[in-house]
Amino acid sequence: MNPFDGYRISSPYGPRKDPFTGQPVHHTGIDLVKFHQAPIYAFMPGMVVHAREGLVGTGFGGFGNVVAIKDSCGAIQFYAHLDSTAVKVGQQIMAGQMIGRQGTTGRSTGSHLHFEVRLKSTPSYGYGTDTNPGVYLERFMPNVKELGKVEGAKINMDKKDADKIILFLSAAYGATASKDAQAEFHRLANELRKASGQAVQ
């Protein structure tokens, strides 16, 4: 499975030129793009340990709005440069749960998601223990759906309510020329159809 399905990779993990200085640096995460303010979903389950601006001294300085999740292996997975966050510290997160929206806060040259995995959770949320996030996730992807299951977490929705929301999504679909945005609106509409017992399109 591709852990980053649905994203465009704008900058991979590893050596690159710093986008601000042009100097060679080690990129500690992977930059992923959908569209500005696109909903961002957790790749794996865990507990939220940080959900605010990454200030200097927090371990997330310069990363703007950050949601950091401690997974079952004790690693920190964090989602940076978010336009906004949608979770709180101490909250248990399932795989696939929305945690924020794509943005360009902090030291950023444009709207994207910087996703990083740090193998230790302390000090400073594992600063300096980064690992290739794609390789890390691929180790767990076959089990992510099982890890993310919570008893009684299945979503059910009334068909009339789902259809009302789908109408708004359809209008948004027609109002944008962005293929990425259209794909996301289509996906969300199908999730609503599944939740309300309708056939996907």
Residue 27: closest CA among 40, 38, 17: 17
The 10 Å Cβ neighbour count of residue 61 is 16
Q: How many CB atoms lie within 10 A of CB 30?
A: 24
Give the domain CATH number at 33.
2.70.70.10
User: Given pLDDT bands bounded at 50, 70 and 90, which one contains residue 1?
Assistant: low
Q: Is the pLDDT of residue 191 over 60?
A: yes
**Contact call for residues 113 and 102 (beta carbons, < 8 A):** yes
* pLDDT, tens digit, 9 for 90 and up, residues 119-173: 999 999 999 999 999 999 988 765 544 333 333 334 456 787 778 788 877 877 8
Q: Which domain holds residue 185?
A: 159-195
Residue 153 lies in a domain: no
The distance from CA 190 to its chain's CA centroid, rounded to whole angstroms, is: 20
Q: Report the predicted TM-score, pTM, of the whole model to 2 decimal places.
A: 0.71
Question: Are 68 and 134 in the same domain?
Answer: yes
Provide the mean pLDDT of the chain: 87
Report the pLDDT value the prediction gives residue 164, as an integer from 0 to 100: 78
The total domain count for the chain is: 2
My answer on whether 92 and 112 are in the same domain is yes
CB 79 within 8 A of CB 67: yes
- Going from the C-alpha of 135 to that of each of 2, 5, 57, 154, the distances in angstroms are 10, 14, 28, 29
Same domain for 175 and 98, yes or no, is: no
Question: What is the total residue count of the chain?
Answer: 201
* pLDDT, tens digit, 9 for 90 and up, residues 175-184: 777 877 788 7
